A and B are shown apart, each in its own frame.
Chain A
């Protein structure tokens, strides 16, 4: 507990929050400890030198208590300031992201109208550039949404309303949606569920995002060969194991420990690929781990990578028929 406390309010953090030494909770606690010890030593000295009249005793106890009380309230003030700063930070991101989405929606819809040709014909080149604007606007919108997610995760306010969902159906949906993307990259997707158990209790949007992220990465990091992306799903009793295995370029050793970091993007991506936000795996990790699951990957240079996650099985879910093709 003390170690954990020190981690939260270490001296470094106090500098980050612009707290002076005498406002820093850790320092104040250390001071309080010293005062306590000095007080005990002082009382011992007083008593052993026969200065033990009731007045001296009461006086010294009251004096020390007051000192500790003053230090204690400084600690509380320092803690409150840190909490306020944290709250203000996530409020800021929330407001900023809403403000950013307003002009982005305007750009998106204005371009939608132009591309629909309902306000006039457009040439091939014009259409091309309008699509570029559309693509970049979508990229910005994704980034703003991801930043909002990350800020919520960091302040412990991630949306995780859960319901009973069929993981199989979600996977099949994602495969359908990414079908043309896979085809364009010469990648074949195979889905092999190894049991009929597909039901989990989770937030469907979040879990879909994790699967989408895994499959999307598998396709993007395939390199120049004919890619095969295999999706494995099996029931392991208390948990479900889901993995996306590719035969792509693998993850270089120096990048492996950064994979789940914020804004990290692998180097092996082709220049022609749409650039991701670098936040997908950070958010995926938070989503899976906050529900009691685990997430990870195995990789081999040049041979491919398998991204996997485990998720607690839904023990209370009703058995609905789920067919596997």
Chain B
């Protein structure tokens, strides 16, 4: 499929999920960079300046909330839309993520890959 000039940063520590997201997004023409922990994720966000970030919450080294806070506090990354992809479904976590500036909060187990793709495209207004 032809490339679509959009870059996505995936911050996810589960190998299977990372692989699946990568295959689907690359198949749709996106350029994908991935990180397996929060620290690397934040670093890559600053270096690569992706068009959108898919961010897990439970991560080694720096959790998703901390990454999100740092992203929004940094000039180069604060405008990048963030979609939280996690399996935590408590109201408090959802509210916390939205309050910290996440665009959308998706509970992974409740969605198929197709739905995640649709959300990504909708957020990027594609």
A101 interfacial contact with B, CB 8 Å: yes
CB distance from A93 to the nearest CB of B (A): 12
Cβ contacts A93-137/B at 8 Å (1 or 0 each):
010001001101110111011001011000000000000000000
Q: How far is the CA of A110 from the CA of B21 in the complex (A)?
A: 9
B126 interfacial contact with A, CB 8 Å: no
Q: How far is the CA of A116 from the CA of B23 in the complex (A)?
A: 11
B14 interfacial contact with A, CB 8 Å: yes
Q: Which residues of A contact B88 (CB under 8 A)?
A: 98
Q: How many residues of B contact A (CB 8 A)?
A: 21
Q: How far is the CA of A98 from the CA of B87 in the complex (A)?
A: 6
Which of A94, A98, A101, A118 meets B24, CB within 8 Å? A118
CB distance from A5 to the nearest CB of B (A): 31
Q: Which residues of A contact B112 (CB under 8 A)?
A: 108-109, 112
Residue of A nearest to B28 (CB): A118
Could you tell me if A104 and B114 are in contact, using CB atoms closer than 8 angstroms?
no
A286 interfacial contact with B, CB 8 Å: no
Which of B19, B90, B108, B114 meets A105, CB within 8 Å? B108
Cβ contacts B47-69/A at 8 Å (1 or 0 each):
00000000000000000000000
* Known pairs A101-B87, A102-B87, A141-B110; A109 contacts B27 (CB<8 A): no
Could you tell me if B91 and A159 are in contact, using CB atoms closer than 8 angstroms?
yes
Q: Which residues of B contact A112 (CB under 8 A)?
A: 20, 24, 112-114
Could you tell me if B109 and A101 are in contact, using CB atoms closer than 8 angstroms?
yes
Q: How far is the CA of A106 from the CA of B113 in the complex (A)?
A: 11
In B88-120, the 8 Å CB interface with A consists of 88-91, 107-110, 112-114
Q: How far is the CA of A119 from the CA of B22 in the complex (A)?
A: 12
- Interface residue SS majority, chain B: helix
B124 interfacial contact with A, CB 8 Å: no
Could you tell me if B114 and A109 are in contact, using CB atoms closer than 8 angstroms?
no
B74 interfacial contact with A, CB 8 Å: no
* Known pairs A98-B87, A148-B89; A113 contacts B23 (CB<8 A): yes
A161 interfacial contact with B, CB 8 Å: yes
Q: How far is the CA of A108 from the CA of B115 in the complex (A)?
A: 12
Q: How far is the CA of A213 from the CA of B91 in the complex (A)?
A: 23
A-B contact count (CB 8 A): 58
Which of A94, A116, A119, A141 meets B109, CB within 8 Å? A141
A144 interfacial contact with B, CB 8 Å: yes
Could you tell me if B87 and A106 are in contact, using CB atoms closer than 8 angstroms?
no
Could you tell me if A110 and B20 are in contact, using CB atoms closer than 8 angstroms?
yes
Could you tell me if B109 and A104 are in contact, using CB atoms closer than 8 angstroms?
yes
Could you tell me if A118 and B17 are in contact, using CB atoms closer than 8 angstroms?
no
Q: How far is the CA of A134 from the CA of B81 in the complex (A)?
A: 31
B16 interfacial contact with A, CB 8 Å: yes
CB distance from B111 to the nearest CB of A (A): 9
* Known pairs A102-B87, A105-B17, A161-B91; A144 contacts B24 (CB<8 A): no
Q: Which residues of A contact B27 (CB under 8 A)?
A: 116, 118
Which of B14, B90, B109 meets A108, CB within 8 Å? B109
Q: How far is the CA of A106 from the CA of B107 in the complex (A)?
A: 13
Q: Which residues of B contact A109 (CB under 8 A)?
A: 16-17, 20-21, 108, 112-113
Q: How far is the CA of A109 from the CA of B21 in the complex (A)?
A: 8
Q: Which residues of B contact A108 (CB under 8 A)?
A: 109, 112
CB distance from B57 to the nearest CB of A (A): 10
Other contacts beyond A118-B23, A159-B91: 19, CB < 8 A: A98-B87, A101-B87, A105-B14, A105-B87, A105-B108, A106-B14, A106-B17, A109-B17, A109-B20, A109-B112, A109-B113, A112-B20, A113-B20, A113-B23, A113-B113, A116-B114, A118-B27, A119-B23, A144-B109
List the 10 closest A-B pairs by CB distance, nearest first: A106-B16, A101-B87, A109-B20, A101-B109, A105-B108, A112-B113, A105-B109, A118-B27, A141-B109, A113-B20
> B residues engaging A (CB < 8 A)?
14, 16-17, 19-21, 23-24, 27, 87-91, 107-110, 112-114
